[in-house]
Amino acid sequence: MEQLSALDAAFIYLESPRTPMHIGGVYLIDGATAGPDFGYRTVRDHVESRLAIARTFRQRLIEVPLSMGHPYWIEDPDFDLDLHMPHVGVPRPGGKSELMRLAADLFARPLSRQRPLWEMVFVDGLDDYPGLSPGSFALIARVHHAAVDGVSGAEIMGALLDPEPRARRLTPPDDWHPERVPSGIELVARSYGRIGAKSVDLARILAKTLTGAGSLVSRTLEESLERPPMPMTAPRTILNSRVGPHRSFGGVEFPLDRIRRIRDLVPGTTVNDVLLAVCAGALREWLGARDELPDQPLIAMVPMSVRARDEETAMGNRVTALLVELATQIADPHERLLRIHRSAAGAKGYGRALPANELMELVPSETAALASRLYLRMRGSDRHRPFFNLVITNVPGPPVPIYLAGARVHGHVGTAPLFDGLGLILVIFSLAGQISIGITSCREVMSDVAEMETLLERSLAALEAEPATDPESLRAGIEADQVERRPALERTTLSQLHEATDRLEEALERLEQPSGEST
């Protein structure tokens, strides 16, 4: 039995019938590469043979009564694979719109908490999907965000996928054993066992926070990093409305080489900067067409993995949140790209310095659960400026072709959860030299994602054109502007932070001494 972290539990508390909290996507499988016997039974048996690789497959959620502690994962004593793998046919003519509507309907439904929080729907009948052979297939996968983040979710799918048509022979020891479902009293007693450790945790986390902040001040002064926007400073837009119960879903795909050429066209930028700029250009045009483009830049929350190498297959979320200005007030696409690059570089410095995940552990579970429910019921997102305008998450996939039970995976279009105040999320995924941008919204915000698909393509084309102004001249102007409007950081702040850190470290040493040696 393993307790969820505060960040993982937050996805449980935020879930409602309107806002299911799962991530996933649509895996496209080319029928021309599948054997004559390939079908639902082939994939179902293949998944069964890989269950031992990832714990998520057979662990279910157990909630503590009255939220007197964060929930737990236990090995499900009633696990039944067939409940997690439905088989459906896509409506005729079996094209992209029919598949994406089916996926949108599935993504709108919360997963059952009475069994492990994942599902893979096998879809056949894709006879008219662009780029696929007639008679192709899809796998619509979803798993609760409390169990995985984007990186570990990709690792779980990696357990099912192979780098060549011949499936790997895996013989991990399947020593899985179901667990007894604990009583409510047992769960409450177990959850409150760590209360005495909170003071030590608080001292350690604050010391780490101040040390990171001190280091960050030094870097900011020396490297002129741009400070990221603060939460709740984003402009209000129609993207930040109350989320409805129905989803709209789709996406676009293009070669990664197109992104790399833009990166080389504007030296100093990164692939991720370019992808953010592609999204920003599409958003600028989409809002402008509705006379809703704000004077202030849109702010994107960009998750950044802090997962260590030895945590790649661990359950749960190991991420921090970066806030990046998308420069949507800038008309020139290349100047917009450079401003995004500068904002993203500063955000990464701040994101690495501050242990937001650990600070969340200090919030009592009852408070977190109650606050989440009240926020949803009282429409809290309508009462303040948005924390950010949208989420853009970039999940790196394998750079080589991958196969499912011998059939090649042609592409993947990702999804992630919405909640009140967040009506649009863009999921970027790379696979074998191709990039996809998955679009998830609700009908109340973006009833038809086809327009956004077109605008993403148009934004990419605009960035591929030769810059109207030399990038170095643009960069010099942006840096001069930043120096002029950036408040000076007082060096005395750094000395104060170091002094506070020293005192906290001394207190931490005293707290961690054995009781007989305590001063």
- Positive/negative CA dihedral, 155, 2, 321, 244: positive
Q: Which long-range contacts (CB under 8 A, 24 or more apart) does 157-164 make?
A: 157/27, 158/398, 159/50, 159/53, 159/54, 160/46, 160/47, 160/50, 160/404, 161/398, 161/402, 161/403, 161/404, 161/409, 162/402, 162/403, 162/404, 163/398, 163/400, 163/401, 163/402, 163/403, 164/403
Cα–Cα dist 519/508, whole Å: 12
Query: How far is CA 456 from each of CA 137, 272, 276, 296, 391, rounded to the nearest angstrom?
Result: 26, 15, 11, 21, 16
Using omega within 30 degrees of 0 as the cis cutoff, is the peptide bond preceding 93 cis?
yes
Residue 430 near residue 256 (C-beta atoms within 8 A):
yes
Cα–Cα dist 407/412, whole Å: 14
* Encoded amino acid at 237, one letter: T
Residue 355: CB atoms within 10 Å? 18
499: CB partners within 8 A, 6+ apart:
none
* DSSP state letter for 19: B
Cα–Cα dist 436/96, whole Å: 14
Gyration radius (Cα) of the chain, Å: 24
Strand pairing partners for 440?
A: 249, 425
H helix runs in 319-395, sequence order: 333-353, 356-360, 365-377
Residue 145 bears catalytic tag: yes
Residue closest to 298 by CA, chosen among 383, 423, 420, 461: 423
Q: 3-class DSSP state for residue 120?
A: strand
Catalytic residue among 22, 70, 144, 145: 145
Name the residue with tokens 């995004």: 340
Cα–Cα dist 1/144, whole Å: 18
Cα–Cα dist 312/318, whole Å: 9
- Pairing assessment for the beta strands 72-75 and 2-3 based on DSSP bridges: antiparallel
Cα–Cα dist 81/8, whole Å: 24
Rounded (5°) CA angle 29-436-152: 80
Two tokens, residue 201: 């945790």
Residue 336 near residue 289 (C-beta atoms within 8 A):
no
Query: How far is CA 502 from each of CA 201, 208, 509, rounded to the nearest angstrom?
Result: 16, 11, 11
Query: Which residues are marked as active site?
Result: 145
